[in-house]
Structure 1
Amino acid sequence: MKFLNVKCNVIIATLLMAFGASAQVNKTKVDGVIGVVGDYIILDSDIDKTYLELKQQGVNTNEITRCQMLGKLLEDKLYAHQAIQDSIIVTDTEVNQKLEEQYAYMVEQLGSVEKVVQYFKKANEEDLKTELFEIIKTNKLTSEMQKKIVDEVTITPEEVRDFFKKIPKDELPVFGAEMEIAQIVVKPQVTKEAEQKAIDQLKQLRKDVLENGASFFSKAVLYSEDPGSRSTGGFYKMNRKTQFVKEFKDVAFSLQEGEISEPFKTEFGYHIIYLEKVRGQDLDLRHILITPKVSDEVLKAAKEKADLIRKRILNKEITFSEAARTMSDEKETRNDGGLLTNPKTQDTRFELTKMDPSLYSIVANLKEGEVSLPMADEDRSGGKFYKIMTVTNRFDEHTADYSKDYTRLKELALKEKQIKAIAKWTEEKIKETYVKINDEYRDCTFTNNWLKK
């Protein structure tokens, strides 16, 4: 499942930076136009707004020229324009879902609809949402086009080796001190009574919709425990490639349009799904999630179990790896002896200077063979559990070595190849796209050949 995990100031900053920059050529407003890329125009005020929002984000803009700022805006519009040419589809439903998510979050943070409208200096909510819609759609087209370019770039082991060989010895990257970490997770056992209570609640909600004409949207807003979709009435758009858990997808694709499923279980809890619309390979659906509640007694028992496992490891009755394989409730790490994967690099090493502070505070001072005390944590659905952790390996700061640091070097080599691919793509698309720069900016020195000299 997906959960909304954004900061209000970032949302507002992103949208404000785009305000005024989303107008298209066929709009009547032309005053202050300084550039045109395909069907998109750029206003002089867009540069001012970008400066303002970067400053609000704490970025030092003293050395960023207006020419450089215009160059970035031109790039963004080129991506969006080409996305349309390449028939990249961003549906109104998709945009509206994102709009409602962001709008609800901003209202929650700023306090009221009126304050949000005032913040964006709009006459009313309708005008604000209309412009937000265009901004979000343009941003989505831009990101989808960028993703398409990058996703087509792959790299072979031979290319990684060539990349490494071309780096002068005195310029080889230095990797900071790293460690490998393992954990054992003990989840509280939800009672059958708690599970049945969640199922019964969902059955009643389903009955109210089917038999009493209640609104599924309203029920989801009031009762769903999925923070990523609750504010939009449980809405998700998905197809068979969408990254949802298997059980959820299986039920969704088994429904007929207009049908509501019986309650079913996933790792997040119990759900019901209402299939609202079938659009070719895509489904518009709404769901309600109810997570069975865990009693204090059950939670206490989980902590005691985690503590018992820790004692057995410290007493040499079982290794940490063996305990993880046989007793951990975390299926993602269990088969690897509890070894964690770094989400940023997708390998097993965590660089100390880049480690999440909450994780660093737990493992930084653990000695060899030491196991942390049981600690409370929460999973993606907010369910509480206990975990114990250990450091399985440490790596001192060192200069890059091909055999030891292949994964890191592959990442660097791939990034370099992606940058080159984007540069080549940009050069080619500028040549075949209508681009106009007004006289006052024609003396600019751009990174890309926007002036087509």
Structure 2
Amino acid sequence: MKITTNGFLVLAFMGLALTAQAQETDEALASKDTTASANRVKLDGIAAVIGDYVILESDIDKTLIDLQNQGASTEDVTRCGLLGKLMEDRLYAHQAVQDSLLVSDDQVNAQSDAQIQQLSQQIGSVEKMLRYYKKPDMESFREELFEINKLRMLSEQMQSKIVKEIEVTPEEVRQFFYRIPEDERPVFGAELEIAQIVKQPEAPEEEKQKVINTLKEIRQDVVENDGNFRVKAILHSQDPASRPNGGFYSITKETGFVKEFKDVAFSLREGEVSEPFETIFGYHIIFVEKIRGQERDIRHILMIPEIPQSAIDKAMAELDSIRQQVLDGKYTFADAALNFSDEKETKFDGGLLRNPVNFDSRFELTKMDPSLYNQVRNLKDEEISRPIREDDPRGGAPKLKIMKISNRYDEHKADFAKDYLKIQELALREKQFKAIKEWMNEHIEDTYIHVNEYNRSCDFANNWVKE
């Protein structure tokens, strides 16, 4: 049984196409696509219309270049396939607007700002980025990126709504698995179970108080002197994700932020600024900019107390001592994790790491996060690593840890009992795909759709060419 999510996953287009490249790519696509006429004259006309959205021929070319810029393989990509994907995205976005699943301009701008920062860092500067994408100025670049991101975010919201309530029962998982012929059952790659003991060096009290005092001064200036919170976030915040956007986030109670942060954000009225408070990331103040039902637009400033090298050295020495006690047989690794680890998420489970994808304890080697793989790739069975320093990409305090491979699992054909969580995930994905397919068929019938004559001969996965 072939499990597919074609039409369900959204392509996160971050790049913008170059005009010169688009012309070259158009020729390459036309030569690959069996539906393209050999003597067809290419014009930048309308390829298709979906509801209120128009897809130009050049949009198809740009999409291919976006994929290539992201390093995706385009060997099997055809013009018809790309057009079909663009039509799917626009149908989702069109229906999202009809269902009032709106995306605020602030949300879109925050996403665009983060992408501009990332792109300019990768390329070298804002000026080089504009030259690379052949944009005359930042305004035109932002406008095009804004439209791309708004459509993508609307599309994602609609897809999330379609599959939000879908679940699979144990019986559905069982039926899904045993419907697959034995010789066609999926093969799962080699996997590892990994355990770790973590020490988190702490900043001294005087450093914490210094940060709290600074945040109080910023708050006072905003509250009493109408200081601009957005500007202060750009100047002072140590949250790399939101700092370029003036500390902006749009959140609901379901947003994956730590509880302490959401508790404060949802305790404030519109226009209020919180007192300084602490989370695992450091100290924050929050400004509630706007409340829209269950959604809040907030800005925050994160400041992280400085941790002296002496605290890091102390944590390293503690881990060396713990490691030696485990090697000497005084503790098992699991007991040492319970007694000494500072990581609450793993210490009560023998230090065992959980896969963030499905919360299983196993990590498939070919799908592991590269940084995690590099930390354990040379470890032998029962070996305990020397202390490893892991810096926080968000700018938070580093953590120190020792690691051990608890179990290894060879590549094997799916087993219902041993691989239940993975099989459950596949069953859920198939059920979601069926729901998406049914939704797509229903809304294609109810939506104005026009495909131009050059593209009507495409063998689309969906019935875009209505008779």
TM-score, normalised via structure 2 length: 0.86
Q: 2:320 is matched by which residue type in structure 1?
A: D
Q: 1:409 is matched by which residue type in structure 2?
A: I
Q: 1:418 is matched by which residue type in structure 2?
A: Q
Question: What corresponds to 1:81 in structure 2?
Answer: 94
Aligned-pair CA distance for 1:31: 6.3
**1:442 matches 2:456:** yes
Q: 1:437 is matched by which residue type in structure 2?
A: V
Distance 2:444 2:18 in 1: 23
Q: 1:432 is matched by which residue type in structure 2?
A: D
**1:157 matches 2:170:** yes
Q: Which moved more, 1:382-391 or 1:59-68?
A: 59-68
Aligned-pair CA distance for 1:342: 1.2
Distance 1:255 1:176 in 2: 48
Are residues 125 and 391 of structure 1, via their aligned partners in 2, closer, same or farther at CA, if it must alter by over 3 Å?
closer
Is contact 1:11–1:102 with CA below 8 Å preserved after alignment? no
Is contact 2:337–2:347 with CA below 8 Å preserved after alignment? yes
Is contact 2:196–2:404 with CA below 8 Å preserved after alignment? yes
Are residues 401 and 113 of structure 1, via their aligned partners in 2, closer, same or farther at CA, if it must alter by over 3 Å?
closer
Aligned-pair CA distance for 1:287: 1.3
Q: 2:336 is matched by which residue type in structure 1?
A: A
Question: What corresponds to 2:372 in structure 1?
Answer: 359
**1:252 matches 2:265:** yes
**1:225 matches 2:238:** yes
Aligned-pair CA distance for 1:112: 4.8
Q: 1:327 is matched by which residue type in structure 2?
A: F
| Counterpart among 405, 409, 416 of residue 430 in structure 2 | 416
Q: 2:454 is matched by which residue type in structure 1?
A: E
Aligned-pair CA distance for 1:410: 1.0
Distance 1:264 1:59 in 2: 42
Aligned-pair CA distance for 1:17: 9.4
Distance 1:416 1:164 in 2: 11
Question: What corresponds to 1:401 in structure 2?
Answer: 415
CA deviations on 1:379-411 (whole Å, 9 max, x unpaired) are 454311210111222222222111111111111
Are residues 324 and 434 of structure 1, via their aligned partners in 2, closer, same or farther at CA, if it must alter by over 3 Å?
same
Aligned-pair CA distance for 1:205: 2.1
Are residues 388 and 49 of structure 1, via their aligned partners in 2, closer, same or farther at CA, if it must alter by over 3 Å?
same
Aligned-pair CA distance for 1:213: 4.3
Cα RMSD for the two superposed structures: 2.4
Distance 1:62 1:408 in 2: 29
Q: Which moved more, 1:237-246 or 1:51-60?
A: 51-60
Q: 1:92 is matched by which residue type in structure 2?
A: D
Unpaired runs of 5+ residues, structure 2, are 1-11, 23-42
Distance 2:268 2:67 in 1: 47
SS where residue 440 of structure 1 aligns? coil
Question: What corresponds to 2:338 in structure 1?
Answer: 325
**1:311 matches 2:311:** no
SS where residue 301 of structure 2 aligns? strand
Distance 1:345 1:204 in 2: 43
**1:125 matches 2:134:** no
Is contact 1:324–1:337 with CA below 8 Å preserved after alignment? yes
The sequence identity of aligned pairs, in percent, is 54
CA deviations on 1:35-94 (whole Å, 9 max, x unpaired) are 111111111111222233333344454543322221111111111111112221212222
Is contact 1:17–1:53 with CA below 8 Å preserved after alignment? no
CA deviations on 1:262-286 (whole Å, 9 max, x unpaired) are 2111111111122223333332222
Q: Which moved more, 1:60-69 or 1:310-319?
A: 60-69
| Counterpart among 270, 283, 286 of residue 273 in structure 1 | 286
Aligned-pair CA distance for 1:118: 4.2
Structure 1 residues 150-229: aligned runs within 5 Å = 150-229=163-242
Question: What corresponds to 1:98 in structure 2?
Answer: 111
Distance 1:66 1:336 in 2: 50
Q: Which moved more, 1:55-64 or 1:79-88?
A: 55-64
Question: What corresponds to 1:430 in structure 2?
Answer: 444
SS where residue 454 of structure 2 aligns? helix
Distance 2:442 2:204 in 1: 62
TM-score, normalised via structure 1 length: 0.89
| Counterpart among 334, 337, 341 of residue 347 in structure 2 | 334
Q: 1:382 is matched by which residue type in structure 2?
A: G
Question: What corresponds to 1:368 in structure 2?
Answer: 381
Are residues 135 and 361 of structure 1, via their aligned partners in 2, closer, same or farther at CA, if it must alter by over 3 Å?
closer
Distance 1:210 1:142 in 2: 38
CA deviations on 1:138-193 (whole Å, 9 max, x unpaired) are 11111111222232321111111111111112122222222211101011132111
SS where residue 265 of structure 1 aligns? strand
Structure 1 runs of 4+ aligned residues shifted over 6 Å read none
CA deviations on 1:425-446 (whole Å, 9 max, x unpaired) are 2111111111111111222221
CA deviations on 1:3-32 (whole Å, 9 max, x unpaired) are xxxxxxx8642x4499x9xxxxxxxxx960
